[in-house]
Structure 1
């Protein structure tokens, strides 16, 4: 009986610890108050669940299209995201940032799900359009000091890294003859975006 009680207490303790650790990840943009270094910038896309999903979706989408899209879509996203960050730092207002980010998760997930083949240039424009919102969100937390450049480099590298993860997974699934797994991943991303939108 004591062993059962002990096991129950351990399970409850683990659940409490997990919920405390996960609570920071569920928030869209944790840790803004210390956004002054390379690591703060690097953590920002990874720490926000909405950012994380959108970055992975970009990589999956590019992998499903192949060819020039493999580099054009992620590059368009990263470059335009930096522009969005610069606009925010310059004090220019970008409206509906949070809504744009959530919409990007839903739409990019749906594009992966339905494997819609569009011209690469149009895909780059779509990616860039959503990237402005993500960049503005990063830029609003970017310090105006010299550390701002380190912060920008951090979030650009983290974003590119997440794209590479999505690309790698998508290409691996294609080689394994399992593109359906990539499409299912898109449905999970789109559904998560909808849940975040109505949370």
Structure 2
């Protein structure tokens, strides 16, 4: 655990990658398109997958709702100028973390899983808010990325529901692939 905390701290001090700036971040259409970047896309679908696999019945919506709420707070903080070092590394690590959550499934408590989802969503939101140019419409951009994020969560929930009866190896392969994708993103930062 000490090694994981040390590695996470070191990664958190990494310089900001240019994965987010440089694309449109001003309009509803920009917001709708943004979550289709690989880091956000994988994380959003993974939240739905984990929620379908680990949360019972109507509680499955808690994963996506937690993500949307925490991402909104993060975006508002980003617009307000709050800056954390290593946000891009944190986003890549969130993809790795979501992979681990899929492997763990119900062995991870729902409270811990929702807490991890909230932390990851806060980082995603900070990236969204920080990239908004001065004078741009936050409301339009936020409405776009929240709508697309919701759709991606819904896709993950649907896929997760379809896979609920799948053998554990399927979830382990999904989680392992997601974790590997996150590590590759981290290396590219």
Name 1:24's counterpart in structure 2.
none
Deviations 1:127-160 (A, max 9, x none): 0011111001111122444621010011111111
Contact 2:52-2:161 at 8 Å conserved across structures: yes
* Structure with more relative contact order (C-alpha pairs < 8 Å, separation 6 or more): 2
Alignment of structure 1 residues 35-184 onto 2, 5 Å: 35-46=25-36, 48-67=37-56, 68-145=58-135, 147-175=137-165, 177-178=166-167, 180-184=169-173
Consecutive unaligned residues of structure 1, counting only runs of 5 or more, are: 1-26
Q: Does 1:29 align with 2:25?
A: no
Mapped to 2, the partners of 1:58 and 1:108 lie a distance apart of 7
Q: Following TM superposition, by how much is the alpha carbon of 1:110 offset from its aligned partner in structure 2, in angstroms?
A: 1.2
Consecutive unaligned residues of structure 2, counting only runs of 5 or more, are: 1-17
**TM-score, with normalisation over the residues of structure 1?**
0.78
CA RMSD of aligned residues (A): 1.9
Name 1:194's counterpart in structure 2.
183
Structure with bigger gyration radius: 1
Deviations 1:65-115 (A, max 9, x none): 131541111111111001000001011112221011011000111110232
- Give the length in aligned residue pairs: 170
Mapped to 1, the partners of 2:29 and 2:169 lie a distance apart of 35
